[in-house]
Structure 1
Amino acid sequence: MTSQPTPPPVTVVGIGADGWAGLAPDGRAALTAAQVVIGGRRQLDLLPAEVTAERVGWPSPLRPAVPGLLAAQGDRRVAVLASGDPMFFGIGRTLTELLGAERLRVLPHPSAASYACARLGWALEETGTVSLVGRDLATLAGALHDGGRLLVLSADASTPAAVAGLLRERGYGPSRLRLLEQLGGPAERVLTGTADDWPHPPGDPLNLVAVECRAAPGTPRGSLVPGLCDELYENDGQLTKRQVRAVTLATLAPAPGELLWDVGGGSGSIAIEWLRAHRACQAVSIERDPVRAARIERNAAALGVPRLRVVTGPAPAALVELPRPDAVFIGGGLTAAGLLEACWAALPPGGRLVANTVTLESEALLTQWYREHGGELLRLAVAQAVPVGGFTGWRQAMPVTQWSVVKPPLRGQEGQQ
């Protein structure tokens, strides 16, 4: 067999608002030596005439066109221009995923976040970053915490006003905003205001917004841990209550990059808080009622995880085409024929399944599966203090039976890593 020739490497050069003047010698050398330079129009326009390579703008949509665009260059020396640090919310990640790190040589420039923190006197490692480039504005809602500091990477000149509007809607109108444009370039400027009274019209499209989060009095508190206030969810009563939700999420144990199936989504609270655990978490909420499915989407947007995928349809039929989960939560429909069997079959070895119920029929089913597969069977009971005449007494909520289990490895694989 004859080996295929190794494709030539691609050099990715980060460039800032200061353009050619701000590039290090290795970046200049890579661009001068290139036969083709690919980038956004704004970045390409920063190159001087001494860069004689053919200049190719990125197509839209970008990601599906990248392999073919690069393959079309053959053996020519290719450089890619990126804004700032290519590996910080930039094209570097896409190229790495599509081509492999071994085909890339990355020459980073200071990122907009580094410039911003230098101007503001903020510690970069203690500052949150939210990118709205190609992402839903609602993503920002999940990062709002009273007293927190955020850098919001803008999609265009309209983003700052949109950020101010979202902050007002979410009860963060008193937050101080600073708009930083053309960071590191000769046209750099900083504008200030609050979300409640943002005075500035759209300006330069190359900008980011620094937010010092301040909640207005009475704004419900968002938490970094599971168990958000029930009042934060729009619901029709089909809501896993706060205390039970906290126990359920702790048992599901989300980790970055993992996918959850939330079967019988109700109001979507389990999937939403799974996604809030880490930006790399993924979730699908399966709900047969279209009205509830629409409500799940609204809750996901309001709580900062618009990436939640909602599938409308009955389980187990609606599960057939879904990607394989790392964990499954069943909050409704346990007695549907074949549902538990389908969820169990979909889980890989080491996958987790958690099921909650308040009915005797479903409890009997969970008890049967507990006897067959092990795991842990719990009874969760919550009581709240309520007025009783002139005194105070306990009002007991319906007890919840929870079965949780980790799927064991296949027979013969017990000792394998």
Structure 2
Amino acid sequence: MAQKWLSIIGIGEDGIPGLSAIAQSLLAQANIIVGGDRHLSMLPPNDHREKILWTSPISHSVEEIISRRGQAVCVLASGDPLCYGIGVTLKRRIPISEITIIPAPSSFSLACARLGWSLTEVETLSLCGRPSALLQSYIYPGARLLILSEGKNTPGIVAEILTQRGFGHSQITVLERMGGIHERIFTSTAAAWQETEIADLNAIAVYCLADSGIIPLPRVPGLPDNAYHHDGQLTKREVRAVTLSTLAPSPGELLWDVGAGCGSISIEWMRTHQRCIAIAIEQNAARLQYIADNAAALGTPHLKIIPGKAPSALQDLPTPDAIFIGGGVTAEGLFDICWQKLRPGGRLVANVVTIEGEQTLFQWYEKVGGSFTRIAIQRAEPIGKFLGWRAMAPVTQWSAFKH
């Protein structure tokens, strides 16, 4: 306990009187207090201890806190500091053995208490300092969403996204200043949203309801081909579903999508879990824009896009857990760098449609083994006034596990 010099205290709209005895004791013992204007204004006017106000970028303030190591420092934070809060940022730089964290109820817990929702049955996300496009991957019929708002304009942005996606009937509830004497709650539908007088401190609850006739996007790999903007360089729906199954994404893993085309594989990799990350490598300038547009529209705006040609564009990228090669398998040295960079236990999957591509994959197979799968898809299409089967180009898929 002697090593614990930093305390992070969650505080609600009820201010210091609402703190527990332990939290009040830690605050009283501190020589330096850190917080935003709203938090520091909760202190008595005659409190003359040193104050550190959060700056932008916040990394400057974090460095200042670290420079006070060994002194009694208290950080005041909103609600639960480890729920999309400053506690997460500080924990990356300071060992937990040096920190005492006293949480208050999070905005999510307070919202659930007001609405009668079970926190274990809702989806939570923050749009504070994050792209609003993140919301896209959370929308499905019947979803209950709790959203940390960036400010008074966020509810209108959420309403617009829902309406454009065909979820204009969704119920939106804004909860302002929860836990304080100025708390206010009001509800409307996304399509009818007109409220503009909203406090900056608010959370948003959404009950997602699809409009009549809307076919929602699935949450599993294999989105419809028309969900993407592309120029024909698209891994087709059925092949995409098989490919993602073979790549086997797990939360927190990194994918390299080499020759990404319109980005469908890396986007659907990231859609499997909010902690999955991906890097799309593509040399065609027009397709780079397709990737960016598709990533925003489908809820993966954090997809990292690297312009360039493999293998040279792969040299300085972080170590991947899985690699998909959808184009350019015959490039000299591509396999060597991919196999070298892949972590032990990682998966390498490549799809080809040409004989030359198959020859290259067989050479790779002779080096490291693996397995081959031939994927042949036929779709029913009109032939005059009848239906007939039209075959897509068969895809040869090679996959290997790095021991």
With the shorter chain as reference, the TM-score category is: over 0.9
Matched, 1:187 2:154: no
Matched, 1:45 2:6: no
Report the alpha carbon displacement of residue 76 of structure 1 after superposing the two structures with TM: 2.1
Partner of 1:96: 91
User: Matches of 1:366 and 1:62 in 2, distance apart?
Assistant: 48
Alpha carbons 1:32, 1:51 under 8 Å: kept: no
Amino acid at match of 2:145: L
Alpha carbons 2:5, 2:71 under 8 Å: kept: no
User: Matches of 1:110 and 1:255 in 2, distance apart?
Assistant: 30
Number of aligned residues: 402
SS of 1:247's equivalent in the other structure is helix
Greater mean deviation of Cα atoms: 104-113 or 365-374: 365-374
Distance 1:172 1:37, change over 3 A: same
Report the alpha carbon displacement of residue 50 of structure 1 after superposing the two structures with TM: 6.6
Q: Can you list the C-alpha shifts for 1:237-270, whole angstroms capped at 9, x where unaligned?
A: 1111111111111111111111110000111010
SS of 1:96's equivalent in the other structure is helix
Alignment match of 1:25 (pick from 21, 28, 35): 21
Report the alpha carbon displacement of residue 53 of structure 1 after superposing the two structures with TM: 2.8
TM-score, with normalisation over the residues of structure 2? 0.97
Alignment match of 1:260 (pick from 255, 258, 261): 255
SS of 2:387's equivalent in the other structure is strand
Task: Return 5+ residue gaps in structure 2 as ranges.
Answer: none
Amino acid at match of 1:279: Q
Distance 1:33 1:129, change over 3 A: same
Alignment match of 1:239 (pick from 234, 240, 245): 234
User: Matches of 2:250 and 2:197 in 1, distance apart?
Assistant: 39
5 Å-filtered alignment, 1:67-78, equals: 68-78=63-73
Report the alpha carbon displacement of residue 75 of structure 1 after superposing the two structures with TM: 3.2
Alignment match of 1:380 (pick from 371, 375, 379): 375
Q: Can you list the C-alpha shifts for 1:161-183, whole angstroms capped at 9, x where unaligned?
A: 11111112222211110110001
Alpha carbons 2:4, 2:97 under 8 Å: kept: no
Task: Return 5+ residue gaps in structure 1 as ranges.
Answer: 1-5, 409-417
Q: Can you list the C-alpha shifts for 1:268-314, whole angstroms capped at 9, x where unaligned?
A: 01000111111111110000011100110110000001000001111
5 Å-filtered alignment, 1:6-405, equals: 8-49=4-45, 51-63=47-59, 65-66=61-62, 68-405=63-400
Amino acid at match of 2:30: A
User: Matches of 1:296 and 1:389 in 2, distance apart?
Assistant: 36
Amino acid at match of 2:313: A
Report the alpha carbon displacement of residue 51 of structure 1 after superposing the two structures with TM: 5.0
Distance 1:211 1:310, change over 3 A: same
Amino acid at match of 1:37: I
**Identical columns (%):** 49
User: Matches of 1:369 and 1:192 in 2, distance apart?
Assistant: 59
Q: Can you list the C-alpha shifts for 1:194-231, whole angstroms capped at 9, x where unaligned?
A: 11111211421110111111122343422221111111
Amino acid at match of 1:201: T
User: Matches of 1:87 and 1:165 in 2, distance apart?
Assistant: 30
Distance 1:124 1:168, change over 3 A: same
SS of 1:145's equivalent in the other structure is coil
Report the alpha carbon displacement of residue 233 of structure 1 after superposing the two structures with TM: 0.7
Distance 1:113 1:74, change over 3 A: closer
SS of 2:360's equivalent in the other structure is helix
Alpha carbons 1:31, 1:51 under 8 Å: kept: no
Alpha carbons 1:220, 1:232 under 8 Å: kept: no
Report the alpha carbon displacement of residue 96 of structure 1 after superposing the two structures with TM: 1.0
Q: Can you list the C-alpha shifts for 1:26-61, whole angstroms capped at 9, x where unaligned?
A: 111111111001111111112234755322111111
TM-score, with normalisation over the residues of structure 1? 0.93
User: Matches of 1:202 and 1:355 in 2, distance apart?
Assistant: 53
Amino acid at match of 1:81: L
Alpha carbons 1:167, 1:195 under 8 Å: kept: yes
SS of 1:141's equivalent in the other structure is helix
Moved over 4 A (4+): 49-52
Cα RMSD (Å) of the superposition?
1.4
Alpha carbons 1:263, 1:315 under 8 Å: kept: yes
Amino acid at match of 1:63: S
Amino acid at match of 1:256: P
Distance 1:306 1:53, change over 3 A: same
User: Matches of 1:153 and 1:8 in 2, distance apart?
Assistant: 30
Alpha carbons 1:35, 1:52 under 8 Å: kept: no
SS of 1:160's equivalent in the other structure is helix
Greater mean deviation of Cα atoms: 388-397 or 327-336: 388-397
